[in-house]
Amino acid sequence: MSPDAACWTPERFYREVRFLDNFSAGTRGAASAEYFLAAGYAVIFLSRQHSQFPYTRRYSHTTNPFFDILQEPESSDSIQEVRVQQHQVGTLLPVLRAYHQARQAGCLLPVPFVTVVEYLFLLRGISEAMQPLGRHAMHYLAAAVSDFFIPLDHMSEHKIQSGDGALHLTLEPVPKVLGSLAQEWAPASYVISFKLETDHELIVPKAEKSLERYGHQLVIGNELSTRKTEVTLVERMADGTYTTMPIRIPADSSREIEQDIITRLVDRHVRWIDATS
Amino acid sequence: MSPDAACWTPERFYREVRFLDNFSAGTRGAASAEYFLAAGYAVIFLSRQHSQFPYTRRYSHTTNPFFDILQEPESSDSIQEVRVQQHQVGTLLPVLRAYHQARQAGCLLPVPFVTVVEYLFLLRGISEAMQPLGRHAMHYLAAAVSDFFIPLDHMSEHKIQSGDGALHLTLEPVPKVLGSLAQEWAPASYVISFKLETDHELIVPKAEKSLERYGHQLVIGNELSTRKTEVTLVERMADGTYTTMPIRIPADSSREIEQDIITRLVDRHVRWIDATS
């Protein structure tokens, strides 16, 4: 089922005051984009407005404000220059170079969205534009998209008033586009979805069920509390069986788990291209 | 009604996968903090994690990434220095100086929160700590806090599964703490709340009703679509009447409306201190 353009107007949507969101800051997507770029992929970074961004995420407003690493010129300086503190250059410079390189090479295209409806339309449009890439395309669906939403024709025109007691909401399931994506919008692409669970036991069975149902290539399963150190890749093989690949890093590792995930995914993608060409 | 600490554990909260959020990036709060600092106030900046931050907000990840204003050293340079591009210094330097000055003077204390429950506890704790300031304290409640929430004992232990059709949610009204704040937690403070409406006609009557109900000093009314160029201040006077002060800036103004709002508020605050001392 594909979203219906006729019922959607941006003007209408931007009057929403409240919406259902999730805990995610988009760190996994932003980190993964960096490692895909390092591996030679071009990245269309479809991400929620104000979520984390590749490279610059390392200098967030609160935990490591970039204004803190800049030094003001001395009043005696003849030219007013602003420099990065010298002891910060070693950490900053490789990140800055990678960012500039990706942008100048035209390999990193940010596409922001706000609502789940925008996300779905953009995903379809981008997927269709990517079709000429054939099997060299990959979809890495790290956006924590809501499973539920309030359709436009159920919305209140004005802000819902408080003071009338409890608020009863009925949310409809978001159209499951993974099937449309894997079968229609991007039939040749290597499609990777995420499964986030709070119950570890559910990860592998639900990943296999999802692959069976939607016909895509790989699910990255993770549990909310351990998602930064442990994931489970479940891949659907050509013979219809499933291969499970756990990835784990030590809790005190200076390496990000996304580095290991992307190394593995690039390997799986290349094998899959070779096997089917 | 004050939040009940006994039912709240941080461990429990951080397992929430989805929550009800709002459209706000916190721009009004961040901009206002800058103008309060410029007016000589010390600011405790209680703000949602990842929302806009004073000063650094001008270099956001997406619209004006700060990595874009930094230039890499030439490979021939003897010292590897990273500088801000010279043509950017004029814009950056006053902002950077104001930021450093506020931080070094200890006048800007960021306090991040995630959920509405955290917000309420922090607001109470901060208010009680501020009581020695008497009438010199001001509360500027710009955080777009949800009117509704799902109490802890109604929450699902694990992530709600999709695929079972529509999701029915019952949200309870968030305890109205404005009365507790104005009467108990910060009885001497100049308390300013916000009213955001999508229907312009409701702004003044609802502001007056709010002042009457909670007994605080001033409401800033604004409409969703015009909030960046137009607000209405409604103040409760000593004689029980209400004064309405509209503030408007041209749509193409380079000045931010928060500058005019804070100028007006500082004036009202000072008059109020003088009138009651």
Q: d(Cα B53, Cα B63) in Å, to the nearest integer?
A: 15
Residue linked to tokens 């990245």: A43
Residue ranges of E strands in chain B:
18-22, 43-48, 70-71, 83-84, 108-113, 138-141, 148-149, 167-173, 190-197, 218-223, 230-236, 242-248
Q: Look at A79-83, B9-13, B160-164 and tell me which has the smallest mean pLDDT.
A: B9-13
Supply the DSSP symbol for A77.
-
CA distance, residue A207 to nearest chain B CA (Å): 13
Query: pLDDT value at position A162?
Result: 57
CA distance, residue B180 to nearest chain A CA (Å): 16
What is the separation, in whole angstroms, between the first and last Cα of chain B? Answer: 30
- Residues 139-178 of chain A with CB under 8 A from chain B are 146-148, 157-160, 162-163, 165-174
Residue linked to tokens 């931007």: A14
Q: d(Cα B29, Cα B44) in Å, to the nearest integer?
A: 11
Residue B174 confidence (pLDDT) above 80 = no
With an 8 Å Cβ cutoff, are A70 and B96 in contact? yes
With an 8 Å Cβ cutoff, are B198 and A92 in contact? no
Query: pLDDT value at position B17?
Result: 42
Question: Does the beta carbon of A184 lie under 8 angstroms from any beta carbon of chain B?
Answer: no
Question: Does the beta carbon of A17 lie under 8 angstroms from any beta carbon of chain B?
Answer: yes
Residue A161 confidence (pLDDT) above 50 = yes
Contact between residue B68 and residue B60 where contact means Cβ atoms under 8 Å apart: no
- Distance of alpha carbon A38 from the chain centroid: 17
Indicate the residue of A16, A84, A146 with minimum beta-carbon distance to B18: A146
Size of interface A-B (CB pairs under 8 A): 203
Q: Look at A19-23, A120-124, B33-37 and tell me which has the smallest mean pLDDT.
A: A19-23
Supply the DSSP symbol for B219.
E
Chain A residues with beta carbon closer than 8 angstroms to that of B97: 72
What ipTM was estimated for this complex? 0.76
CA distance, residue A125 to nearest chain B CA (Å): 21
Mutate to test the interface with B, among A17, A24, A71 (most CBs of B within 10 A): A17
Question: Does the beta carbon of B17 lie under 8 angstroms from any beta carbon of chain A?
Answer: yes
CA distance, residue B276 to nearest chain A CA (Å): 33
Of B110, B185, B169, B120, residue with least CA distance to B146:
B120
Domains of chain B: 115-155+169-277 (3.40.50.10300)
Residue A14 confidence (pLDDT) above 50 = no
Indicate the residue of A82, A110, A146 with minimum beta-carbon distance to B84: A82
Mutate to test the interface with A, among B70, B115, B222 (most CBs of A within 10 A): B70
Mutate to test the interface with B, among A1, A12, A23, A108 (most CBs of B within 10 A): A23
Between A103 and B148, where is the model more confident? A103
Residue linked to tokens 């891949």: A235
How confident is the model over B232-256, as pLDDT tens digits? 999 999 898 999 999 999 999 999 9
Mean local confidence (pLDDT), A31-55: 92
Of A70, A115, A97, residue with least CA distance to B55:
A70
Query: pLDDT value at position B52?
Result: 86
Of B80, B35, B64, residue with least CA distance to B257:
B35
Within a 10 A sphere around the Cβ of A169, how many other Cβ atoms?
A: 17
Three-class secondary structure of residue B134 per DSSP = helix
Mutate to test the interface with A, among B61, B200, B203, B206 (most CBs of A within 10 A): B61
Of B83, B244, B263, residue with least CA distance to A86:
B83
Apex B91 CA angle, B42 and B78, nearest 5: 110
- Residues 40-59 of chain A with CB under 8 A from chain B are 49-53, 55-57, 59
Contact between residue B232 and residue B203 where contact means Cβ atoms under 8 Å apart: yes
Question: Does the beta carbon of B101 lie under 8 angstroms from any beta carbon of chain A?
Answer: no
How confident is the model over A216-229, as pLDDT tens digits? 999 999 998 898 99
Query: pLDDT value at position B7?
Result: 34
Indicate the residue of B16, B110, B159 with minimum beta-carbon distance to A62: B110
Question: Does the beta carbon of B132 lie under 8 angstroms from any beta carbon of chain A?
Answer: no
Mean local confidence (pLDDT), B50-64: 83
Q: Is residue B77 within a helix (H) or strand (E), and if so which, with residue range?
A: none
